[in-house]
Amino acid sequence: QVQLVESGGGLVQAGGSLRLSCAASGRTFSSYAMGWFRQAPGKEREFVAAIDWSGLSTYYVASVKGRFTISRDNAKNTVYLQMNSLKPEDTAVYYCARDARAGVYGSTWLGDYWGQGTQVTVSS
């Protein structure tokens, strides 16, 4: 029913910026909270950021606060992750996800759809 396709990953030097995009196929995109997760080699998948259905409420993991910004454009069925001041420890595969709920509740997640991931590599 729903497909999520991430794009925008790449190789960047420490201190640089990238903007990730996640395009959703569903026609009811605006009914759901959306989020970004990441997974580095040898580590568990980690919550990064979430945004509620309206775009008015967001939540970030402490390590990216002040550097990353999640946003959404419901008219385009797209959620974004603007990543600034990137650090080598940000290197990971970044995944877009849909929550089954409309709201954001900290880092808790009831994910029902996931994208394929996009690689972000930050060199030191």
Q: What is the pLDDT of residue 23?
A: 96
- For residues 16 and 52, what is the distance between their CA atoms, to the nearest angstrom? 27
**Could you read off the pLDDT of 73-119 as tens digits, one per residue?**
999 999 999 999 999 999 999 999 999 999 999 999 999 899 999 99
Residue 87 burial class via C-beta count within 10 angstroms: exposed 0-12, middle 13-18, buried 19 and up = middle
- For residues 63 and 42, what is the distance between their CA atoms, to the nearest angstrom? 18
The answer, yes or no, to whether residue 26 has pLDDT greater than 90, is: no
Q: What is the pLDDT of residue 105?
A: 95
CB distance 100 to 42 below 8 Å: no
Q: Among positive and negative, which fits the CA dihedral 104, 45, 75, 2?
A: negative
